[in-house]
Amino acid sequence: MITVTDQGNKVGLKSLNMNPLTTAANPATNELYASLPVDVRHALEQHARHVIVPRGQGLIQYGILPNQLMILNSGTVEISVPSPEAEVSLGTAGPGKVFGMRALVSGETPEIDVTTLEDCEVTVIPGQEFLGVLQSMPQVYFGVAKVLSADLKIADQLIRNCSRRNLAARKI
C-alpha cells in the first residue's frame, strides 16, 4: 500500500519530481479527466503528484481505506477480489485507469486488491483535496460516475462470464 503524506514525503515510492501541470495524466486516456472541463482538470492537477510505484506493490488493498486517488499513467496492474478460497482475478488494467474512487466517495474500505505487475507511473491526488474539488466543482461527479461505471462494468462482465461458464459446464 503506498502512502503520500501532506508534506510530500513518500513511503515506498520514488518521486519523479515532475511538474504536475505539464506532466499530468493524459486526458485522452485517463477515464476521470477525459470527461471533465479544462478548469476542473486544472483544479485537480494543482494537487497532483507523480510517483513511480515499483513492481509487486499494492496500490489498493482489500479492507484498507486509501487516502488518495490514483491514476495509472504507465505500466500494468492486476485487479483481484480476495475470497475465502481463492483470489478471483478481474484482469489487468493499463494507463488511464483510476483507483481509490469508490473508497473516497463512499468512505467504505475497498473490496479489491490492485497490484503493480511492473514499475508504474502513477498520479496521486490526496483524498481531502479531491473531495474539496468535488465539493466546489460538482461537474466532477460526472467523471466520478464514469469511473465507477467502468469499475462496475469490469465486475459485471466477470459475473456474466462465470454464469455463462457455469451454465455451459452444467450442460456437458
Partner 1 sequence: MIKKVVVVPRELLMAMAYNLHIIENCLKCTFREHRLFCDLSHDALGKLQAIKATSVYPKGTLLCLEGQPPRGIYILCTGRAKLSTTSAEGKSIILRIADPGEVLGLTAAVSNTPYEATIETMEPSQANFISQSEFVHFLQEFPDVGMKVAQQLTHNCKCAYSEIRSLGLSNSVPEKIAKLILVWAEHPLDLHRQGGNGDIPIRVTLTQEEIAQFVGTSRETVSRVLGDFRRKGWLKIKGATWNIVNKKALEHLVTT
Of 24, 112, 114, 124, which lies in the binding site for partner 1, with binding defined by CB under 8 A? 112
Does the footprint of partner 1 cover residue 2 (CB under 8 A)?
A: no
Scanning 7-15, 91-99, 123-131, 150-158 for contacts with partner 1 by CB under 8 A, the matching segment is: 150-158
Minimum CB distance to partner 1 smaller for 28 or for 86: 86
Size of the site for partner 1 (CB under 8 A): 43
Does the footprint of partner 1 cover residue 91 (CB under 8 A)?
A: no
Write the CA distances from 21 to 27, 57, 108, integer angstroms.
12, 26, 30
Does the footprint of partner 1 cover residue 132 (CB under 8 A)?
A: no
Letters for 36-75 (x = contact with partner 1 by CB under 8 A, - = none) are ----------------------------------------
Q: Is 13 left (phi over 0), alpha (psi -120 to 50) or beta?
A: beta
Does the footprint of partner 1 cover residue 18 (CB under 8 A)?
A: no
Does the footprint of partner 1 cover residue 92 (CB under 8 A)?
A: no
Does the footprint of partner 1 cover residue 16 (CB under 8 A)?
A: no
CA-CA distance, 40 to 147, in Å (whole number)? 16
- By CB neighbour count within 10 A (0-12 exposed, 13-18 middle, 19+ buried), where does 141 fall? exposed
* Contact present, 123 and 70 (Cβ < 8 Å): yes
Min separation Cβ 72 and partner 1, Å? 18
CA 33 to chain centre: 13
Min separation Cβ 145 and partner 1, Å? 5
What SS3 state is found at 49? strand
At residue 90's C-alpha, the angle toward residues 82 and 146, to 5°, is 115
CA-CA distance, 159 to 38, in Å (whole number)? 36
Of 88, 95, 124, 126, which lies in the binding site for partner 1, with binding defined by CB under 8 A? 88
Does the footprint of partner 1 cover residue 34 (CB under 8 A)?
A: no
